Amino acid sequence: MAGGGTLIVKIRDWTPGDHQVLERVTPPRGYSYYALVTEGEDPGVKAGINERGLVVQSATASSIPKPDRQESDSTMGLMRKLLAECATVDEVLARKSLFRGPRFLLVADASKVATIEIGPKGQVRVDITRDGVAAHTNHYLPGALSGANQKAPGASSLSRFNRIQELLESKTPHTMDGFLGFSRDRHAGPDLSIFRTGLKPTGTRTMSVWAVWLKPGGGAEIVVRLLNAGQPEVLVRRDFVEIFGKVPTR
């Protein structure tokens, strides 16, 4: 990462019936946070940064059928809990009792990134990246939880994972503008690219891009693209101090 620190990006794909907003949340207890929140078919927090400089992002485990992802003991409001209650990646990892209900998490602070795969019945795989790159899409990667893929990984998930790996390896050092460029990549067409426009009017397409640079000396830059259907694109660039009124304490 040029300039040091940690750069983390989420590209959110969903159907155009969804609606997304940015919210600054001050819970009754815990840390305040700034989040990408969806309303509609798939409601909830999809990515956020809290006042301590912790970033949490989620992704759907699409290689497990939807009825099987909805386990009876799934942690409801997991994203809000982690953002309000944890200050660092290590604190998130200490809350493994909350990791219930198949999904993927990418969690970052200024020193490290954790890729967390949560499988059926509370199975968990964690990969830590301190000096390098990590990527994930919507299927369990080869390793301890690859058997959790109840159906073959989708063509889009595989294509997007392979493409982002290629881009990450080919262009260094990494920068915010470079990662935003990756998020616009249409290399494999409307349904298989990193930026998906969708072949069908009601089909899955890229609905938002969330990017955060956690700077090594404190503070952060947040860039968000909102692509709500039927509305003009909204581009938001905000500084950490502008949102929270202070530099995060480490």
CA 221 to chain centre: 16
Q: What is the pLDDT of residues 91-112, one digit of tens each?
A: 999 999 999 999 999 999 999 9
Q: What is the pLDDT of residues 4-51, one digit of tens each?
A: 899 999 999 999 988 999 999 999 999 999 999 998 778 899 999 999
- Closest by Cα among 199, 223, 213 to 248: 213
* Residue 2, pLDDT score: 65
* Residue 63, pLDDT score: 96
Q: Tokens 């990006």 sit at which residue?
A: 9
* Residue 135, pLDDT score: 97
Mean pLDDT of 196-203: 93
Q: How far is it, in rounded angstroms, from Cα 214 to Cα 230?
A: 32
Q: Which CATH number fits domain 6-244: 3.30.450.40, 3.60.60.10, 2.60.34.10, 3.20.20.190?
A: 3.60.60.10
**Total Cβ atoms within 10 A of residue 66:** 9
* Residue 56, pLDDT score: 98
As a whole number, the mean pLDDT across the chain is 94
Q: Residue 22 in contact with residue 226, Cβ under 8 Å?
A: yes
Q: Residue 56 in contact with residue 47, Cβ under 8 Å?
A: yes
Q: What is the pLDDT of residues 142-180, one digit of tens each?
A: 999 999 999 999 999 999 999 999 999 987 789 999 999
Mean pLDDT of 104-129: 96
- Closest by Cα among 56, 179, 166, 175 to 107: 56
* Residue 187, pLDDT score: 96
φ/ψ region of 240 (left if φ > 0, alpha if ψ in -120 to 50, else beta) reads alpha
Q: Residue 176 in contact with residue 213, Cβ under 8 Å?
A: yes
Instruction: Label residue 1 by pLDDT band (50, 70, 90).
Output: low
Is the pLDDT at 233 greater than 70, yes or no? yes
Q: Could you tell me the residue ranges of all domains in the chain?
A: 6-244
Q: What is the pLDDT of residues 49-79, one digit of tens each?
A: 999 999 999 999 999 998 889 887 899 999 9
* Residue 42, pLDDT score: 82
- Residue 145 is classified by DSSP as T
CA 1 to chain centre: 18
